[in-house]
Amino acid sequence: MARGTGLAVASKFSLIATSLVMVLEGMVRFTAIGCSDAPGPVSPHMYWSSGAGYEQLTSVSEDGKLSIRVGPAFQAVLEAVMSGD
């Protein structure tokens, strides 16, 4: 059962999308590095979509550190994936 799509656009030359929630950490790193190193940076952020819109999954602190933030809808998806539903 599909639970949404992860999407990141680090630069005008890189787009990554996946339906595999478990690769989130790798996508976040890829996007942050691509956004800082590639020409034409777009966004260092990772997004999730259930088809009804996009939810930003990352935030950047004042000291520049990127972290993952999980809202209620995405939390439900993670719990369902982890429980095997």
- For residue 63, the Cα-to-chain-centroid distance in whole angstroms is 20
pLDDT at 21: 57
Cβ 31 vs Cβ 10: under 8 Å: yes
Under-50 pLDDT residues of the chain: 1
Q: Kindly give, in sequence order, each residue whose CB lies less than 8 Å from that of residue 78, ignoring residues fewer than 6 positions away.
A: 21, 70
Q: Kindly give, in sequence order, each residue whose CB lies less than 8 Å from that of residue 28, ignoring residues fewer than 6 positions away.
A: 8, 46, 57, 58, 66, 68
Number of Cβ within 10 Å of residue 78's Cβ equals 15
Q: What residue ranges do the domains of the chain occupy?
A: 5-83
pTM over 0.75: no
pLDDT at 1: 40
